[in-house]
């Protein structure tokens, strides 16, 4: 059912499948190479399950030296490589290629070093996001970025996608919490970036690698900063009669100088779906539900809860409930955190979109989305990170009905185009992958995309690492490197000199 074209597989590589598997077995002995279709089945898709493809062969290295040898071998033989963490990507970033080696990083699962005085944790990339927090929780610390997939997703995948979570308004995304990484380039070279110290001695390669979706290098070690857990956290539920009122409340909270730990919103369909599923006690007679969490020192949280409540009432909140206990706070979050499975219960399938918009556009975008919903004849439920304008429209469809998936994809594309048109972006945290690849032209012109690909050429001149992702058109590096002579087309021959 896939509607996206991937690069045509190279027949010569497919013919050499057994030989390639044997070469990889020489590098990773034992169970480390998987090549039968049955055993490769679990790797055929990621969180974007509408797309499936068995890889050429799966390799599961255990050491950085093995990763280096695998990449060097593939580079020399021009074989594409797709890195994979836990396979929870929602944009198809880890979708295998028919003629590509799937490099699974799951065996890199050790916590290497925890340094409390310097507040850092160094782990292998296959360690899950939540496992980092678990490793430091006994001392009262945690790792701040908390994607909803945190029990499953790997920190290597987080680095590759620059993942965020409900707390990133206050605590930042992966990129703001990352101190160092070790990467292996496609050539097999091992490069260390950063460490336990701050900032780079040269170009900010760490910043470039974060969010590069497995296209620039394979992450083999990660050092993050850990934070002392806040003294306390309390949440408030606010219901609003209109999404405009909810949006205005979010703006007013920030205008008052308050940056909450989390500020999440749901629209009516999402409220109803999650309440039916979780019985979190959400009000059903409101158009928008806002969860505001304030965390920090007790004295501050108590004070700010009062402030936020006053603001919300002024903005017309028709429902206010402040958590009175830790259990109640957890209950408030239960519905929000279960939004995806809850929606999964009311429809056979759903597509999760991920645009970001300037916050003030929220009512406008929601209204336009309702129009589109009618046009396409498909329901949409919205959950969003309201504080930073990151929307997750969930488009409900039935994959068994002919044409519905294609309609859902078209609806999704229209939503993302709308996000860009109002000043936002295609993806806030899920990545471009294959899903938004062909929409890149909505945000960037040829010149922009070519400059991005030139960066790719500095890392992987043969385009072998995760090809077919992120960029709609792959230009050869030689072509990208060619210089234009501008003579005769100078717009201002009379540039002033002083």
Partner 1 sequence: MLDTPAPLVPRDTADLLDAIRTASDAETPLELYGHGTKRGIGHAVAARQSVELSALSGVIFYEPEEIVISVHAATPMAEIETLLAANRQELAFEPQDYGPLFGLPRGSGTIGGALAANLGGPRRIKAGAARDHVLGIAAVSGRGEMFKSGGRVVKNVTGYDLSKGLSGSWGTLAAFTELTFKVLPRAEFSSTLVVFGLDDAAGVELLCRAMSSPAEVSGVAHFPAATAASLPHIGDNTRACTLIRLEGFKTSVLYRAERLNALIGPGQDLVRLDEEASRDLWQAVRDAEPFADHVDPVWRISTAPMHGPAFVEALRAAVTFRHYYDWSGGLVWIEIPDAPADAGASAIRETLSLFGGHATLVRASGIDPSVRRFQPQPPSLAALSRRLKSAFDPLAILNPGRMG
Ligand X SMILES: Cc1cc2nc3c(=O)[nH]c(=O)nc-3n(C[C@H](O)[C@H](O)[C@H](O)COP(=O)(O)OP(=O)(O)OC[C@H]3O[C@@H](n4cnc5c(N)ncnc54)[C@H](O)[C@@H]3O)c2cc1C
Positions touching ligand X (CB under 6 A) are: 46-47, 82-90, 93-94, 105, 125, 147-149, 153-154, 156-158, 160-161, 163-165, 213-214, 218-219, 340, 429-430, 466
Which two structure tokens, joined as six digits, stand for 165?
Answer: 């979570």
Q: 3-class SS at 394?
A: strand
Q: With CB under 8 A as the contact rule, which of the stretches 105-113, 150-158, 160-168, 281-289 interacts with partner 1?
A: 160-168
Q: Cβ of residue 21: shortest distance to partner 1, in angstroms?
A: 29
Q: Which does 149 bind (CB under 5 to 8 A by kind): ligand X, partner 1, none?
A: ligand X
C-alpha gyration radius of the chain: 24
Question: In this complex, which beta carbon is closest to ligand X, that of residue 312 or of residue 395?
Answer: 395
CB-based contact 380:269 (threshold 8 Å): yes
Question: In this complex, which beta carbon is closest to ligand X, that of residue 214 or of residue 467?
Answer: 214
Question: In this complex, which beta carbon is closest to partner 1, that of residue 268 or of residue 360?
Answer: 360
Q: Binding partner 1 by CB under 8 A: which of 452, 462, 474, 475?
A: 452
Question: In this complex, which beta carbon is closest to ligand X, that of residue 213 or of residue 295?
Answer: 213
Pairing of strands 227-228, 190-194: unpaired
Q: Cβ of residue 255: shortest distance to ligand X, in angstroms?
A: 26
Contact between 428 and partner 1 per CB under 8 A: yes
Q: Which does 189 bind (CB under 5 to 8 A by kind): ligand X, partner 1, none?
A: partner 1
Q: What is the DSSP letter of 165?
A: -
Q: Binding partner 1 by CB under 8 A: which of 203, 325, 371, 478?
A: 203
Considering CB under 8 A, how many residues would be counted as binding partner 1?
107
- Torsion angle, CA of 343/346/350/354, rounded to 10 degrees? -30
Q: Which does 327 bind (CB under 5 to 8 A by kind): partner 1, ligand X, none?
A: none
Among residues 78, 119, 72, which one has the least CA distance to residue 227? 119
Question: In this complex, which beta carbon is closest to ligand X, that of residue 146 or of residue 244?
Answer: 146
| Angstrom distance (rounded) from CA 47 to CA 43 | 11
Question: In this complex, which beta carbon is closest to ligand X, that of residue 304 or of residue 391?
Answer: 391
Q: Which does 158 bind (CB under 5 to 8 A by kind): ligand X, partner 1, none?
A: ligand X
Q: With CB under 8 A as the contact rule, which of the stretches 16-24, 59-67, 363-371, 429-437 interacts with partner 1?
A: 429-437
Q: 3-class SS at 239?
A: strand
Q: What is the DSSP letter of 338?
A: T
Q: What angle do CA 243, 357, 272 make, to 5 degrees?
A: 35
Question: In this complex, which beta carbon is closest to partner 1, that of residue 79 or of residue 304?
Answer: 304
Among residues 460, 466, 349, which one has the least CA distance to residue 93? 466
User: Which H or E element spans position 33?
Assistant: strand 33-34
Phi-psi region of 466 (alpha: psi -120 to 50; beta: other; left: phi over 0): left
Contact between 327 and partner 1 per CB under 8 A: no
Please list, in sequence order, all residues whose beta carbon lies within 8 angstroms of the beta carbon of residue 222, skipping any fewer than 6 positions away: 122, 123, 124, 125, 127, 155, 156, 159, 178, 180, 181
Q: Binding partner 1 by CB under 8 A: which of 303, 313, 406, 421?
A: 303
CB-based contact 94:87 (threshold 8 Å): yes
Contact between 310 and partner 1 per CB under 8 A: no
Q: Cβ of residue 23: shortest distance to ligand X, in angstroms?
A: 21
Q: 3-class SS at 468?
A: coil
Pairing of strands 141-142, 218-225: unpaired
Q: Which does 87 bind (CB under 5 to 8 A by kind): ligand X, partner 1, none?
A: ligand X
Q: Cβ of residue 142: shortest distance to partner 1, in angstroms?
A: 11
Question: In this complex, which beta carbon is closest to partner 1, that of residue 55 or of residue 211?
Answer: 211
Q: What is the DSSP letter of 87?
A: S
Q: Which residue is nearest to ligand X (CB)?
A: 157
Contact between 4 and partner 1 per CB under 8 A: no
Among residues 34, 38, 53, which one has the least CA distance to residue 104? 34
Q: Cβ of residue 255: shortest distance to partner 1, in angstroms?
A: 5
Q: With CB under 8 A as the contact rule, which of the stretches 36-44, 192-200, 267-275, 406-414 interacts with partner 1?
A: 192-200
Contact between 120 and partner 1 per CB under 8 A: yes
Contact between 427 and partner 1 per CB under 8 A: yes
Q: Cβ of residue 475: shortest distance to partner 1, in angstroms?
A: 13
Q: Cβ of residue 127: shortest distance to partner 1, in angstroms?
A: 21
Q: Cβ of residue 292: shortest distance to ligand X, in angstroms?
A: 18
| Angstrom distance (rounded) from CA 164 to CA 171 | 10
What is the maximum span of the chain, computed from C-alpha positions, in angstroms?
A: 73
Question: In this complex, which beta carbon is closest to ligand X, that of residue 149 or of residue 175?
Answer: 149
| Angstrom distance (rounded) from CA 367 to CA 453 | 36
Q: What DSSP line would sit under 351-385, residue for residue?
A: EE---B--GGGHHHHHHHHHHHHHHHT--EEEEEE
Contact between 300 and partner 1 per CB under 8 A: yes
| Angstrom distance (rounded) from CA 262 to CA 232 | 13
Q: With CB under 8 A as the contact rule, which of the stretches 15-23, 211-219, 278-286, 316-324 interacts with partner 1?
A: 211-219
Q: How far is CA 84 from the centre of its chain?
A: 14
């Amino acid at each position: 059912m896939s509607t996206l074209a991937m690069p045509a597989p190279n027949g010569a590589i497919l013919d050499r499948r057994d030989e390639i598997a044997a070469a990889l077995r020489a590098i990773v002995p034992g169970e480390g190479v998987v090549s039968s279709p049955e055993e490769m089945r679990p790797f055929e898709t990621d969180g974007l399950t509408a797309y499936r493809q068995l890889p050429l062969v799966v390799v599961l290295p255990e050491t950085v030296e093995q990763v280096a040898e695998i990449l060097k071998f593939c580079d020399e033989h021009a074989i594409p490589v797709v890195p994979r963490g836990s396979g929870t990507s929602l944009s198809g970033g880890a979708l295998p290629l028919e003629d590509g080696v799937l490099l699974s990083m799951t065996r890199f699962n050790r916590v290497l070093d925890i340094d409390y005085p310097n507040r850092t944790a160094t782990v292998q990339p296959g360690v899950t996001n939540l496992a980092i927090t678990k490793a430091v929780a006994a001392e009262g610390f945690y790792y701040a970025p908390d994607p909803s997939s945190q029990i499953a997703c790997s920190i290597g995948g987080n680095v590759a996608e620059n993942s965020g979570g409900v707390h990133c308004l206050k605590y930042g995304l992966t990129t703001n919490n990352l101190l160092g990484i070790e990467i292996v380039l496609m050539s097999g070279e091992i490069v260390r970036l950063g460490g336990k110290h701050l900032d780079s001695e040269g170009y900010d390669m760490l910043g470039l690698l974060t969010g590069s979706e497995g296209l620039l290098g394979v992450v083999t070690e990660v050092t993050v900063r850990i934070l002392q857990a806040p003294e306390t956290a309390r949440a408030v539920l606010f219901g609003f009669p209109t999404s405009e009122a909810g949006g205005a409340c979010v703006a007013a909270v920030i205008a008052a100088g308050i940056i909450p730990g989390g500020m999440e919103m749901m629209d009516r369909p999402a409220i109803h779906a999650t309440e039916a599923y979780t019985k979190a006690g959400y009000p059903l007679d409101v158009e928008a539900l806002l969860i505001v969490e304030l965390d920090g020192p007790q004295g501050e949280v108590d004070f700010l809860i009062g402030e936020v409540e006053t603001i919300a009432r002024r903005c017309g909140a028709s429902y206010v409930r402040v958590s009175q206990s830790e259990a109640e706070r957890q209950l408030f979050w239960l519905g929000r955190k279960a939004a995806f499975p809850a929606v999964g219960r009311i429809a056979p399938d759903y597509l999760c979109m991920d645009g970001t918009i300037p916050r003030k556009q929220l009512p406008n975008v929601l209204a336009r989305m309702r129009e589109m919903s009618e046009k396409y004849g498909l329901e949409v439920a919205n959950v969003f990170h309201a504080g930073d304008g990151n929307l997750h429209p969930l488009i409900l469809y039935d994959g068994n009905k002919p044409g519905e998936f294609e309609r859902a994809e078209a609806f999704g594309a229209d939503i993302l185009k709308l996000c860009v048109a109002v000043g936002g972006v295609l993806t806030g945290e899920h990545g471009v992958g294959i899903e938004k690849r062909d929409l890149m032209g909505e945000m960037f012109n040829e010149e922009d995309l070519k400059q991005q690909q030139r960066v790719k050429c500095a890392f992987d001149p043969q385009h072998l690492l995760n090809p077919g992702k992120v960029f709609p058109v792959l230009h050869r590096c030689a072509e990208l490197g060619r210089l234009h002579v501008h003579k005769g087309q100078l717009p201002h021959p009379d540039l002033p000199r002083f």
